[in-house]
C-alpha cells in the first residue's frame, strides 16, 4: 500500500483539497470572529449567571473561567494562524518534491524541534491550568465562626431547606427559598432524599451534587443584597428542568426579622374565609404530605407550608405565588408539572377559593 501510494503522485486530489480547506478555514475564522464580536452583547448578566458573580466564591470561579477562556483563545488563534500559514504559503520546493519516501534531513530536524517545542508548551499550559484550578478551589468552602448553617435536601422535584442551630427551638424548615444575610458565610449541607440532584446558584457558588447516603458541603456568601436564582443541575427525572430555587440575600436585620417570623408556628386568623380554608386543608388529605406547624398537619412528603404565603414562588420556582396560580396548581398540578408527586385534590370552587385564601394568609 505504502509503495503504491508513494509511487503515485496525486496532483489532482491535492489541487482540489487545498482550496476546500482554505474555504472552510476562512469560514471558521469568520464564524469565530462573529462569535467574539457578539460575546459582549450576549446575556452574561442576570440573576442566574456564573459570569455575574455576587459573592467571593463565584468571583473566584468567574476569574478561573476567564483565565481558561483567554489562554484557550490564544492557543486556538495560534493553531489557526499556523494552519492558515501552512495552507496559504503553497508547496515549498525541497530536495525531494512529491516523494514521501525521500526525506530532507534539514526539514526533519526543524519538524522535530517544532513538535517537541509544542509538546513542551502544551505540558506547561496544562500544569498551569491544574495549579490555578487547585488554588482557586482550595480557597472555596472557607467557613468562619459566624457561619449560617443550612441543610438542603433534594426531593423530586423541590428543595427542602432546614435552618440549623445548636438550640433546637431556633431550627425550622421551609422550602425552595433560602434567605441569607449579606456578607455572612453560609454553609450548606447537601443531602438527597431520592436520587442525585445538584445544587447550583451560579451567581453565588459553583455546583455540587446531592447524593443519597452522602453529605456534601458547600459554602458561599452574597456580597450584596439581591435575589439569585438556582437550578438543579443534575438530571433527576421528569421535572428536573422545573426544580428551581431562589436565594434571597438581605441585610442582617431583615434576615433576623424573617428568621424570627419563620420560627413561629402558623398564625390563627379571625377571617371566616381563611378559617374555612384551614378546615378544607385539614380535612382533605393535604395533611398526609404537608406540614403546617401549629396545626395537626404533619406530613413529610411535600414542602413545609407553615409560611407558604411569604414565599415569592410555588412549585419549586415554577409559578408566581398568587391566589390564581395557587388555585391552578392545587386544581391540576399534573398539567403544570407532569409526573410530579402532588395528586389532584377534587374540591368544589368554594372550597378551593377558601383553601387558597388560607394558604396565602400563611405569611
Ligand atoms: Cu433535581 Cu435535577
Every domain of the chain and the residues it spans: 148-263, 272-360
Q: Are 170 and 263 in contact (CB under 8 A)?
A: yes
- Residue 34 CA to ligand 1 center (angstroms) comes to 35
What percentage of the chain carries pLDDT values higher than 70? 85
Query: Residues with beta carbon inside 6 Å of ligand 1?
Result: 154, 157, 197, 232, 234-236, 240, 243
- Residue 191 CA to ligand 1 center (angstroms) comes to 12
Least reliable range by pLDDT among 77-91, 134-148, 178-192, 266-280: 134-148
Closest CA to 158 of 348, 28, 304: 304
Model confidence at 3, pLDDT cuts 50, 70, 90, reads very low
Q: Are 297 and 306 in contact (CB under 8 A)?
A: no
Q: Ligand 1, closest atom to CA 236?
A: 2
Query: Has residue 245 got a pLDDT over 90?
Result: yes
Residue 205 confidence (pLDDT): 92
DSSP secondary structure letters along 202-225: TTT---EEE-TT--EEEEE--SS-
Residue 4 confidence (pLDDT): 42
Query: Has residue 7 got a pLDDT over 90?
Result: no
Closest CA to 122 of 173, 158, 74: 74
Instruction: Identify the three-state secondary structure at position 63.
Output: helix
Query: Has residue 6 got a pLDDT over 50?
Result: no
Where does 148-263 sit in CATH, by number? Answer: 2.60.40.420
Assess whether the region 148-263 and the region 272-360 belong to the same CATH fold: yes
Least reliable range by pLDDT among 106-115, 116-125, 260-269, 279-288: 106-115
Q: How far is CA 64 from the centre of its chain?
A: 16
- pTM given for the model: 0.79
- Residue 31 CA to ligand 1 center (angstroms) comes to 35
In whole angstroms, give the CA distance from residue 175 to residue 158.
8
Q: Ligand 1, closest atom to CA 237?
A: 2
Query: Has residue 146 got a pLDDT over 90?
Result: no
Grid cell locating 302: 411535600
If you average pLDDT over residues 256-271, what whole number do you get? 94
Q: Ligand 1, closest atom to CA 195?
A: 1
Which residues, 6+ apart, have CB-to-CB distance to 157 below 8 Å? 232, 236, 237, 238, 239, 240, 242, 243, 316, 337, 340
Query: Has residue 43 got a pLDDT over 90?
Result: no
Task: Name the CATH superfamily for 272-360.
Answer: Cupredoxins -  blue copper proteins (2.60.40.420)
In whole angstroms, give the CA distance from residue 284 to residue 287.
7
According to DSSP, the residues that pair with 150 across neighbouring strands are 163, 188
If you average pLDDT over residues 174-192, what whole number do you get? 95
Query: Has residue 17 got a pLDDT over 80?
Result: no
Residue 88 confidence (pLDDT): 83
In whole angstroms, give the CA distance from residue 202 to residue 305.
27
Query: Has residue 101 got a pLDDT over 80?
Result: no
If you average pLDDT over residues 251-271, what whole number do you get? 94
Across the chain, what does the average pLDDT equal?
Answer: 87
pLDDT in tens, 278-306: 999 999 989 999 999 999 999 999 999 99
Q: Are 229 and 317 in contact (CB under 8 A)?
A: yes
In whole angstroms, give the CA distance from residue 312 to residue 246.
9
In whole angstroms, give the CA distance from residue 75 to residue 82.
11
Grid cell locating 250: 438581605
Closest CA to 202 of 313, 62, 317: 62
Residue 2 confidence (pLDDT): 41
In the numeric block, the cell 442582617 is attached to 252
- Residue 317 CA to ligand 1 center (angstroms) comes to 13
- Residue 182 CA to ligand 1 center (angstroms) comes to 27
**Parallel, antiparallel, or unpaired: how do β-strands 208-210 and 197-199 relate?**
antiparallel
Residue 41 confidence (pLDDT): 52
Amino acid at each position: 500500500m505504502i509503495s503504491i501510494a508513494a509511487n503515485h503522485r496525486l496532483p489532482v486530489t491535492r489541487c482540489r483539497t487545498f482550496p476546500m480547506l482554505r474555504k472552510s478555514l476562512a469560514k471558521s475564522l469568520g464564524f469565530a470572529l462573529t462569535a467574539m464580536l457578539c460575546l459582549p452583547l450576549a446575556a452574561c448578566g442576570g440573576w442566574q449567571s456564573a459570569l455575574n458573580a455576587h459573592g467571593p466564591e463565584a468571583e473566584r470561579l468567574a476569574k478561573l473561567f476567564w483565565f481558561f477562556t483567554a489562554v484557550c483563545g490564544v492557543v486556538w488563534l495560534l493553531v489557526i494562524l499556523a494552519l492558515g500559514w501552512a495552507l496559504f504559503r503553497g508547496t515549498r520546493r525541497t530536495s525531494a518534491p512529491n516523494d514521501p519516501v525521500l526525506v530532507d534531513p534539514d526539514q526533519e530536524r526543524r519538524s522535530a524541534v517544532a513538535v517537541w517545542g509544542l509538546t513542551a508548551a502544551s505540558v506547561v499550559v496544562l500544569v498551569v491550568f491544574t495549579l490555578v484550578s487547585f488554588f482557586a478551589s482550595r480557597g472555596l468552602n472557607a467557613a468562619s465562626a459566624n457561619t449560617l448553617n443550612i441543610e438542603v435536601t433534594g426531593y423530586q422535584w423541590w428543595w427542602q431547606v432546614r435552618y440549623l442551630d445548636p438550640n433546637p427551638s431556633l431550627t425550622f424548615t421551609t422550602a425552595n427559598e433560602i434567605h441569607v444575610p449579606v456578607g455572612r458565610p453560609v454553609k450548606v449541607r447537601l443531602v438527597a432524599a431520592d436520587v442525585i440532584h445538584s445544587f447550583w446558584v451560579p451567581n453565588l457558588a459553583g455546583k455540587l451534587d446531592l447524593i443519597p447516603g452522602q453529605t456534601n458541603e458547600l459554602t458561599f456568601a452574597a456580597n450584596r443584597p439581591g435575589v439569585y436564582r438556582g437550578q438543579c443541575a443534575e438530571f433527576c427525572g421528569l421535572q428536573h428542568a422545573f426544580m428551581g430555587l431562589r436565594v434571597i440575600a438581605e441585610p442582617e436585620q431583615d434576615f433576623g426579622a424573617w428568621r424570627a417570623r419563620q420560627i413561629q408556628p402558623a398564625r390563627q386568623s379571625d377571617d371566616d374565609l381563611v378559617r374555612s380554608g384551614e378546615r378544607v386543608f385539614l380535612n382533605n388529605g393535604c395533611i398526609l404530605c404537608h406540614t403546617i406547624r401549629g396545626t395537626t398537619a404533619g406530613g413529610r412528603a411535600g414542602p413545609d407550608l407553615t409560611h407558604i404565603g411569604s414565599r415569592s414562588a410555588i412549585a419549586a420556582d415554577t409559578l408566581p405565588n398568587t391566589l390564581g396560580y395557587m388555585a391552578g396548581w392545587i386544581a391540576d398540578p399534573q398539567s403544570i408539572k407532569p409526573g410530579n408527586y402532588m395528586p389532584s385534590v377534587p374540591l368544589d370552587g368554594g372550597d378551593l377559593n377558601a383553601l387558597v385564601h388560607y394558604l396565602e394568609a400563611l405569611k
